[in-house]
Amino acid sequence: MKKVIGFTTTIPVEVLFAGEYEPCDLNNVFITDVDSLRYISRAEQDGFPKNMCNWVKGIYGVVMEKHIETVITVMEGDCSNTRALAEILSYKGVTIIPFSYPYDRDKSILKREIEKLMKALSVDEKQVFAIDRKMLHVRAMLEKIDIMTWKEKMVTGYENHLWLIRSSDMLGDFVNYGTMCENFIKGLMKRDAIKGIPIGYIGVPPMVSDLYEFIESLNAHVVYNETQRQFSLPFLSRGIVERYLAYTYPYGIFVRLKDIQQEVKRRNIRGLIHYVQAFCYRSIEDVILRKLTGVPVLTIEGDLPKPLDGRTKMRIEAFIEVLKHNKEKDL
């Protein structure tokens, strides 16, 4: 049986596959569990405060409940809470492998970080290169799923979210994930195009459980999932270091903004829903996003893995109505 290595956000997963480990994105385990609240309760029982981001508590709960022995913690480029999380995990006996994305996007520093990870997992360059080439095939299929969302309009926003978000660990087996993608794409050929006003989703992945379902019920089509798409690393022609440099999520708001502006145009997006997580420092970035994306932005906040509350539903409904009205005016 392969050894499971958990991680707190997207890392160069090629290194883990090259070392024949089973990568495990702890966020995905937490949020896809039918009883994800139990991980939060576990963290709170162990002393985590109530007024803290529930993604962090969820990750901690998963490591404890699933007895994960080794975790790669992204110390820079993801979450301001990770350092404290790494410390408490280490105190609980978990082996921590730190990884950092350089804020200034310095290629030599990122290369050094990837090499450090390779050394920690006893993997050489040749092994990583071989896996990287094989994984490109899966990444290309994920890009196809994304294109089939906004261009052919055959994939729903939720399906797009699911396929791209799971690409951070490819469910622990990239070969099998590739086969799953292939079968999904084949099945799409029988579908009709989805009608509905094109909107985008930006921000950290949602914790609320029925967001896509609700948006789709209002005859809107989510054609862009910013962060989830970034997790799939759709930069196929580059080598591993360049690919993780092109990845926008760890490098600050202005790098992200450029990608958002480009995709808003390319996908003809009429408005954006910006999801912020309660107690997350990234909420401050909303100030910039609201001003510079070039389309109307609705900011919503989530806290627990639960369905949307009535007030947020009403705000989304009103926002989509305005976008539909704007569209009619433009015709």
Query: Does the protein bind ligand SF4 through residue 81 (CB under 6 A)?
Result: yes
Relative orientation angle of helices 54-65 and 37-45, to the nearest 10 degrees: 90
Contact in structure between 269 and 223 (CB atoms under 8 Å): yes
Place of tokens 């639960």: 306
Q: Min. distance of Cβ 321 from ligand SF4 in angstroms?
A: 29
Which of 56, 138, 155, 269 contacts ligand SF4 by CB under 6 A? 56
Instruction: Name which position in 70, 277, 305, 319 contacts ligand SF4 (CB under 6 A).
Output: 277
Task: Tell which positions 226-265 bind ligand SF4, by CB under 6 A.
Answer: none
- Smallest distance, Å, CB 126 to ligand SF4? 34
Of 81, 11, 34, the C-alpha closest to 53 is 81
Residue 253 burial (CB < 10 Å; 0-12/13-18/19+)? middle
Regarding 204 and contact with ligand SF4 (CB under 6 A), the answer is yes
Does 55 engage in binding with ligand SF4 (CB under 6 A)?
A: yes
Q: Is the dihedral of CA 324, 329, 330, 331 positive or negative?
A: positive
CA distances from 251 to 16, 49, 217, 244 (A): 23, 28, 34, 10
| Smallest separation (angstroms) from ligand SF4 to the CB of 38 | 18
Choose between 80 and 217: whose C-beta lies nearer to ligand SF4.
Answer: 80
Give the Cα-Cα-Cα angle 120, 123, 129 (nearest 5 degrees): 135
* Interacting positions 144-183 with ligand SF4 (CB under 6 A): none
Q: Give the nearest distance from C-beta 40 to ligand SF4 in angstroms.
A: 12
Which region, judged by CB under 6 A, interacts with ligand SF4, from 30-38, 75-83, 222-230, 322-330? 75-83
Which residues sit at the interface with ligand SF4, rule CB under 6 A? 53, 55-56, 78-79, 81, 204, 277, 280, 282
